[in-house]
Amino acid sequence: MRNVVTMKWLLARLYEPDMVIVDCRFQLGQPDAGRHAYEESYIPGAVHFDLERDLSSPVGEHGGRHPLPDINELVQKLGKAGIDRNVRVIAYDDQGGMMASRFWWLLRYLGHEQVYVLDQGFSAWKSAGYPVTNAAPPVRFPKTFEAQLHPEMLASVEDVRRASQEGTDVLIDSREAPRYRGEMEPIDKKAGHIPTAKNRFWKDVLGADGAWKSAEEQRERFGDLKEEESIIVYCGSGVSACPNVLALEEAGFQNVRLYVGSWSDWISYIHNPITNGDEDYRAK
């Protein structure tokens, strides 16, 4: 089964008892917008997880703008939401899968295999005439989520330095091209990218219709890479890199790590090198 499920797939299983739906809507710069959107309407049965309150920890000197959440706190929140490692979990958002992919990655990191992203997201679901509700949030029977961490899914700043300097891993920058090239930087304090990184904008995981591309199309996006290569993916703060991590897995790559701190962590170390321009040499 793919990591992405269609709206029809979810509709057919909407009320199955062994499934939990997670609303991950969030707007950067508008920290309450996702919660308000959820309160206005959501897919029946869905619980809400907020990027900054639930899926990240507070910002510090290092670690980037969206550091990993406290694992014990996240595990307790998952259990309270009725999630253990036996249920299927479907995450959705309204941001092209960016926030839902962060949730997907976190659950995979915690050892949960049956977690998926809903294709196209909430607005497409609603536009298709599928059911939504604004009833009081559902009360879930609490469960115990037993985490089994997978540290091999994480890349540290030291790993990224080594990859940049020695070529131990391929670095993938998931931000849009002008930010990668250092022509603009609307969020972080410094512009540019990590030396040797290739640019693969995360939104290119989607087709023109807003649906996730097929596994074959994802393989085309990363056609200059070899499946046996070690890959580290980053973005601005470790969120929009997650769709690329998912897409790489769809494409058959098995040695993929996420640099959670990403660019915002990299630039917090004054001696880390920065480069500008386009050094992304794709295979022709």
**Environment class of residue 167 by beta-carbon count within 10 Å: exposed (0-12), middle (13-18) or buried (19+)?**
exposed
24 catalytic per annotation: no
Yes or no: say if 87 and 115 are a contact pair by the CB < 8 Å rule. Answer: no
- Residue in 235, 239, 256, 267 annotated catalytic: 235
Residue 224: CB atoms within 10 A of its CB come to: 13
d(CA 184, CA 190): 9
Active centre residues (catalytic)? 235
